[in-house]
Homo-oligomer: A and B are copies of this chain.
Amino acid sequence: MSARTIAIDAMGGDFGPRSIVQACAACLVSNPSLSLALVGQPALLEDILRAYPGVDRSRLRILPATEVIGMNDKPSHALRSKPDASMRVALQALRDNQVQAVVSAGNTGALMALSRHVLKTLPGVDRPAMVAALPTRKGYCQLLDLGANVDCDAEHLYQFALMGTVAAQVQGIATPRVALLNVGTEDIKGNQQVRAAALLLQGAGIHYVGFVEGDGVYRGEADVVVCDGFAGNVLLKASEGLASMIGERIEAQFTKGVMARIAGAVALPVLRRLREDLMPARHNGASFLGLQGIVIKSHGAAGVQGLQAAIERARDQIDENLPCRLGEGLAALLSQRSSHGGRM
């Protein structure tokens, strides 16, 4: 196996192992230096692989796992009762350095719980956060958390802000602007957690720019937008739903008459690119930040292309050495906090 091997939870997701194997076969062709480990039931996977005789088996192995975590399984159940689940075996392979990253399209809550349990978090991180990039008028912003942590206190939000800062720096933004998502920009606005987090962030040694509202996110007022997983998930999914609705309504206009069809030939490709761009988590997966290892959650309803994009995202994070640099960056920020009398 190469130095870049990614374990794929072959049993997770809404579409089952067949589409996952298809994505893996395509990835191996387009990424000649990448190796993959399909984690799941060997007989089933070998059977599916028969449809891909050209696949380079020196770069594709199967890691056996007998159990499957269902999309509706409680995280606690997944943790306690399924020791040989594909998701867990994949994470153990990462922990044991057999692979360098894990990609799963399975149950998000279970993936988070198992990741924390098997891999552990980086020093200073109580909870990993789920992050993805959203398009804005000025480029992209990193939004976290996207739903892995529905309830967050000020300390969690503070840690997310630090992680988001370092992750944005790794992606080349020297001094990322960090904002807290809120219902107004004045100091008095918001719930207690958000107001307390604002106080923590003012002395955190990062470029904290204050509160941002939902519309400000898309205006590009920040490079990193921090919120609890409830608000983040609502923002992300509502945006996906709205982008789809707008796209369909406009497309419908381009079928009414000859001029409209001509216009549609120009407008529709633009529109479709935009829709893909507006569904980053669906199309590219979301990262779990703050773990001792690279874990990418591919959208459960991601098709073959989405899963491929998630695998390539994992590949990029291996090349960036993300967990290691995140750990170093966090340690540097947290040491400033200690010297300023923050939480020890």
Contact = CB atoms under 8 A, between A and B. Distances in A.
Interface of A: 72, 74, 109, 135-137, 147, 150-151, 181, 183-184, 186, 188, 190-192, 213-219, 227, 229-231, 233-246, 248-250, 253-254, 259-260, 262-267, 270-271, 274, 278
A185 to B, nearest CB: 10
Contact of A248 (B137, B151, B236, B237): B137
A311 B213 CA distance: 26
Given A147-B184, A214-B239, A254-B267, 18 more contacts: A72-B188, A74-B188, A150-B190, A151-B191, A181-B234, A214-B236, A214-B241, A216-B237, A216-B241, A217-B238, A218-B242, A218-B245, A238-B239, A239-B239, A239-B242, A250-B267, A250-B274, A262-B266
Contact of A136 (B191, B245, B265, B266): B245
Secondary structure type dominating chain A contacts: helix
Contacts of A241: 214-219
B230 A244 contact: no
Contact of A266 (B244, B245, B263): B263
Nearest to A216: B241
Nearest to A235: B238
Copies in the complex: 2
Contacts of A215: 237-238, 240-241, 244
Nearest to A249: B274
Contact of A190 (B230, B231, B243, B250): B230
A273 to B, nearest CB: 9
Contacts of A278: 242, 246
Contacts of A264: 263, 266
A243 B246 contact: yes
A82 to B, nearest CB: 16
Contacts of A265: 259, 263
B254 A266 contact: yes
Contacts of A72: 186, 188
Contact of A267 (B150, B218, B244, B263): B263
A270 to B, nearest CB: 5
Contact of A234 (B214, B243, B245): B214
A253 B233 contact: no
Contacts of A217: 238, 241
Contacts of A234: 181, 183, 213-214, 227, 231, 234-235
A229 B262 CA distance: 43
A86 to B, nearest CB: 20
A160 to B, nearest CB: 16
Contact of A240 (B150, B214, B227): B214
